[in-house]
Chain A
Amino acid sequence: MAEIVDASGLSCPQPVLMTLNKIKGLDKGEIEVLVDTDTSKENVSRAAQSQGWEVDEVTESGTGYRVLIRKE
């Protein structure tokens, strides 16, 4: 069951801050990050990868995106 980080509507750098805080609390697992701009989508993906997490899937969600990241 994926942990959810709802960063929609939040200004830079909140989406990355919230994602990295969630990553810090988990050794591995699945996190679903909700963002509402292309910039935050790219930033969250980049940040996740910098921590050794993989970007599993990016799908449109409403007017924003759902970024699913995972670490085994």
Chain B
Amino acid sequence: MGQIRNFLATKWGIMSVGAFIGVFATLLQRWGNPGNMGVCVACFERDIAGGLGLHRAGVVQYIRPEIIGFVIGALIAAYAFREFRPRAGSAPIVRFVLGVFAMIGALVFLGCPWRAMLRLTGGDGNAILGLLGLVVGIWIGTFFLKGGYNLGRSKETYTSVGWLLPLTMAGFLIFLLIFPQVEGQAKSGILFYSLKGPGAMHAPIGLSLIVGLAVGFLAQRSRFCTMGAFRDLILFRIPYLFYGVLALIVFALITNLVLGQFHAGFAGQPVAHTMHLWNFGGMVLAGLAFCLAGGCPGRQLFLAGEGDGDAAVFVWGMIVGAGFAHNFGLASSPKGVGPHGIAAVIIGLAVCAFIGLTMRQKA
């Protein structure tokens, strides 16, 4: 059974997945998602937090179907190929805290690694700082890994434990359908909807969901991970995951050029700011947190879809972190960093260092 090859988990397989994501994430921008934000796991989980009322930043409130699709697409792939393994119990509170700070770091930059790459391929020079920060954050994480840091073993558990996040996501989808957006109304039933700003910019629900499901399926099969791509190159010189990221960048760039969505520069980029130090710094925090948590934010969604209850906790950490970020003025805006964003990044780096240094097994 171990000899059956999973094509998508080969070099060409993961490159096809990267290409698919590059093309369709970029198309989602044409279909209504915000500029250089066809897919952004951090921004979209933040929008979900807004839709649920966990924060009240009016411009970013919308239950994003892409995130729902990522989890359920991964669930479908896991069941189709008998990889669904319900497991949990590996330092969940730590993963929750890492999720909170990963989100805070990402919102200081205004993007997760996926969006950093989409911004880059849309011509946004600020993304260069973000990607540099991401790599530095991951690099710092590898020191902790080499020093014996680990979160401890998870254990196989009840099937229902592995189903809880997918069911929660399905619940969000049901909310979206029974409390649909009403033109001109900031609220529909229990859900909040942006009337303007990025939260008001979204592709049709069906398209978002279908692309999300497809990406979730393909990414689960190929083990796609934008953090692991850099971590494995740094730590092991293994390029497998990086090939996927490279393909994403190439195909997103081609698609942007074909669609006329490439506008090179630093100033005036969509949903972006030009405070270079904090574009860098925010992503150092995010990269470090993703590295300590064992996966990029997309990967955590795909893991949750295949039954990983610990990844599910990280996802919730990110959603709650977005609530904190907008309630406490930690998130950036096109004008620059928020009032307490810098302090939050510094605190976050200290917390990650505390986690990385104290959770070590010698030999």
Contacts and interface: CB of A to CB of B under 8 A. Distances in A.
B223 interface: yes
B236 interface: yes
Nearest to B148: A17
Contacts of B228: 12-13
Interface residues of A, number: 26
A36 B238 contact: no
Contacts of B310: 11
A40 to B, nearest CB: 10
A50 B153 contact: no
B153 A17 contact: no
A13 B156 contact: no
Contacts of A65: 2
Contact of B232 (A9, A13, A36, A63): A13
A10 interface: yes
A39 B223 contact: yes
Contacts of A5: none
B2 A36 contact: no
Nearest to A8: B153
B57 to A, nearest CB: 32
Given A11-B90, A13-B145, A13-B232, A60 B150 contact: no
Given A10-B153, A12-B295, A36 B223 contact: no
Interface in B101-150: 145-146, 150
B210 interface: no
B201 to A, nearest CB: 34
B85 A37 contact: yes
B278 interface: no
Nearest to A62: B156
B235 interface: yes
A37 B228 CA distance: 17
Interface string B1-34: 1110010010000000000000000000000000
Contact of A9 (B155, B223, B236, B295): B155
Contact of B1 (A8, A14, A60, A67): A60
Interface in A9-34: 9-14, 16-17, 20
A37 B2 CA distance: 11
B238 A38 contact: no
Nearest to B227: A12
B87 interface: yes
Contacts of A14: 150
B154 interface: yes
Contact of A20 (B150, B153, B155, B236): B236
Contact of B294 (A11, A36, A41, A58): A11
Nearest to B240: A46
B362 interface: no
B9 A63 contact: no
A36 B150 contact: no
A50 B238 contact: yes
B9 A42 contact: yes
B326 interface: no
B239 to A, nearest CB: 9
Nearest to B310: A11
Nearest to A59: B2
Nearest to B292: A11
Contacts of B156: 36, 63
A36 B308 CA distance: 12
A55 to B, nearest CB: 9
Contact of B150 (A8, A11, A43): A11
Interface in A38-56: 38-39, 41-43, 46-47, 50
Contacts of A67: 2
A24 to B, nearest CB: 12
12 contacts: A10-B152, A11-B151, A17-B235, A20-B236, A37-B85, A38-B81, A41-B2, A42-B6, A50-B236, A50-B238, A58-B2, A60-B2
Given A12-B295, A13-B236, A16-B238, 6 more contacts: A13-B228, A13-B231, A13-B294, A17-B145, A50-B238, A63-B85
